[in-house]
Amino acid sequence: MQDIIQQIKNAVNSTLFKLGLPSLGKMHAKLIITVLVAVVAGFVVLLLVLKILKKLRSKKSIIINLESSDAPLAQETQKKYDIIVRRINQAGKKCKSILFASPDPAALPVTVPVNTAVSLAKGKKSCLLIDLDLGRDAVAKVFELNVAENDVSARAIKTEFENLWVWPACFFTRLKHMNIKEIAQKALDKFDKVVINAPGLTASCDRRLIISAADAAFICAKDMADAAKLLQLMKELDCRVIGMVQITSPTNPYIAPI
């Protein structure tokens, strides 16, 4: 420590000499070192506090009330989707594929990923919404897509919204060999964002593959206890959880998008 103090003292004295100012004494040098250490320590503490606050904000639940979610959405409900989109944007440019997952299907109405995808598309981002709601094929019903029963040409289908395409769940049920991770990765060559709808993910035998297809995720659950298993899986597979979504008074799961 004494050597560091002496080196700083010599450097400062050299500068002061060039400026024609009196040199520092030993006590002055120690005082400068103390101030510098205090400033650096304060800066480090500030960074740690900001990091903790950022994590707390990302874990704070976004509560969406679907009782009045008509088309267009009520203003207060729209603000909730604005928060979701803002978190996606704040996650950084590397966050391109976003997973919406829930422990059980009832906790994730299709309106959540649909309205998020529509909001992203309205923000001038080309977006593909992939539906893994195999039991209900919910996204196709929302957008009133008439996919023929014998249609096995799996593809992204353009919607009435500019910049928004969807991949209906029926393609996954008809073509069992499709790999969601490969589809999501290839889609990013064409689209800015990929949104994956995966209600009831905990019970899916492909849950690990589905999670690995995403860069970040929102978990929709009644509470943290319900979300615990999914949170653990996300951590194991290095999928960043950027938000918790709680739905209050869910009504018709096929409410029209914004």
Q: What is the pLDDT of residue 232?
A: 92
C-alpha separations of 11 from 7, 15, 31, 56, 184 in Å: 6, 6, 15, 44, 57
Cα–Cα distance for residue pair 258/247, rounded to 1 Å = 17
- pLDDT for 49 equals 60
Rounded to whole angstroms, the Cα distance separating 184 from 128 reads 9
pLDDT confidence bin for 173, thresholds 50/70/90: confident
User: How much of the chain is in helix, strand and coil states, percent to nearest 5?
Assistant: 45, 15, 35
Do residues 188 and 97 make contact, with C-beta atoms less than 8 angstroms apart? Answer: yes
Domain 61-248 sits in which CATH superfamily?
P-loop containing nucleotide triphosphate hydrolases (3.40.50.300)
Of the two residues 191 and 245, the one the predictor is more confident about is 191
Q: Which amino acid makes up residue 163?
A: N
pLDDT in tens, 111-133: 999 999 999 999 989 999 999 99
pTM equals 0.71
Look at 121 and 246; give whichever has higher pLDDT. Answer: 121
